[in-house]
Amino acid sequence: MDSRPADASVTSAAPPRRARLGALVHSAWPARTTWVLVALLVAPGLGDALGDASRPVRLVAGIGGWTLWFVVLVATLVPTTVSLTALRIAAPGAAAAAGAALVATGATTAAVLGLAAALAAALVALAPETAEAFVDGSSYGDERRMPLRAPVALLAGPAELAWLAVVAGTCAGPLLLAARQWVPGALALAAGVPLAWWGVRVLHVLSRRWLVFVPAGVVVHDQLTVVDPVLLRRPVVRSFGPAPAGTAATDLTAGAPGLALEVRLAEPVALMPVARPGQPAELREADAVLVTPARPGRVLAEARRRRLA
């Protein structure tokens, strides 16, 4: 009996299945799924950890936690850069809360499962695939937004401090007031609101760094490196690929790790790099620029699709 038709059908069915799986991984569904698991598995451990707290503290913690969870769940249903910032603040916060619950109650089943679910949600929230899905959710028309890697200088402390400012500024005041610590609670609330607002703005800048592929070419949108977005027009893009060693291209990577891509131009483009504090920004011309995308392979594939590489 000839088995070739069956083999052919299996072979032809495999690529669509892989394509569907790849599309699922590169969507917002992993973030939504793990965030739902946070509610199912983290809440019991936190409830045990707060068992000895006063009723007002449990009430404030419960209402605040469930409100935050619901807001972030809604945010994952509408992927945008704002949703990405909310998710990347809340998911590590859930992991920190689950870790505290584990320390308070010991290695109970509820605490261990809660910590595992929260860590999974945090890892998914910080994954480049999630960033790409949410950043591109803010696209409109025939454009594609692809995130840039965060600079090492920000990841080595400032970003964590901004996140801590958001968490502490949001939680400390209400919990202290619920515990009837009136003066410390009032002071924490008064200082916490502007502190949390500052932290959110700092972290949101990291969500708004991207390359935008548009019909006219590709735009570098990065408030950390250029004052205004820079359009690299399709007719003048000569090459788009991995940067060679020793290149003299204008560095717009902000010191981010990973593979840098070089966009070389047939004629210079005017841009205004972000100046150091105390120095004025100056307009300059560049015939090549360096960027570090979160997923360089996907960026190069999109560049080839649009005939830029």
Task: Please list the pLDDT of the chain residue by residue as tens digits (309 residues).
Answer: 444 444 544 444 456 777 676 677 778 999 999 999 999 999 999 989 998 899 999 999 999 999 999 999 999 999 999 999 999 999 999 999 999 999 999 989 999 999 999 999 999 999 999 999 999 998 888 899 999 999 999 998 899 999 999 999 999 999 999 999 999 999 999 999 999 999 999 999 999 999 999 999 999 999 999 999 999 999 999 999 999 998 999 999 999 999 999 999 999 999 999 988 777 878 999 999 999 999 999 999 999 999 987
- Which of 171, 190, 208 is where one domain is finished? 208
Pair (113, 215) in one structural domain: no
- 243-246 contacts, C-beta under 8 A, 24 or more apart: 243/290
Q: Provide the domain limits for residue 189.
A: 148-208
pLDDT at 8: 46
pLDDT at 10: 44
Pair (121, 187) in one structural domain: no
Neighbouring C-alpha atoms within 13 Å toward the C-beta of 138: 20
- 154-159 contacts, C-beta under 8 A, 24 or more apart: 154/206, 158/202, 159/202, 159/203, 159/206
Pair (77, 173) in one structural domain: no
What's this model's pTM, rounded to 2 decimal places? Answer: 0.89
Rounded distance between C-alpha atoms, residue 277 and residue 127, angstroms: 31
Pair (65, 155) in one structural domain: no
Q: Confirm whether 241 is domain-assigned.
A: yes
Rounded distance between C-alpha atoms, residue 215 and residue 141, angstroms: 10
- Which of 208, 223, 253 is where one domain is finished? 208
Rounded distance between C-alpha atoms, residue 235 and residue 257, angstroms: 30
Q: Confirm whether 3 is domain-assigned.
A: no
Pair (159, 176) in one structural domain: yes
Tokens 């995130």 sit at which residue? 147
**Partners of residue 213 on adjacent β-strands:** 144, 218
Q: Confirm whether 132 is domain-assigned.
A: yes
pLDDT at 279: 79
In this structure, what are the phi and psi dihedrals at residue 216, rounded to the nearest 5 degrees? Answer: -80, -15
pLDDT at 14: 53
Q: Confirm whether 189 is domain-assigned.
A: yes
Q: What is the DSSP letter of 235?
A: G
Pair (195, 234) in one structural domain: no
Tokens 């088995």 sit at which residue? 3
pLDDT at 243: 96
pLDDT at 22: 66
- Which of 208, 228, 246 is where one domain is finished? 208
Handedness of CA 200, 205, 208, 209 (dihedral sign): negative
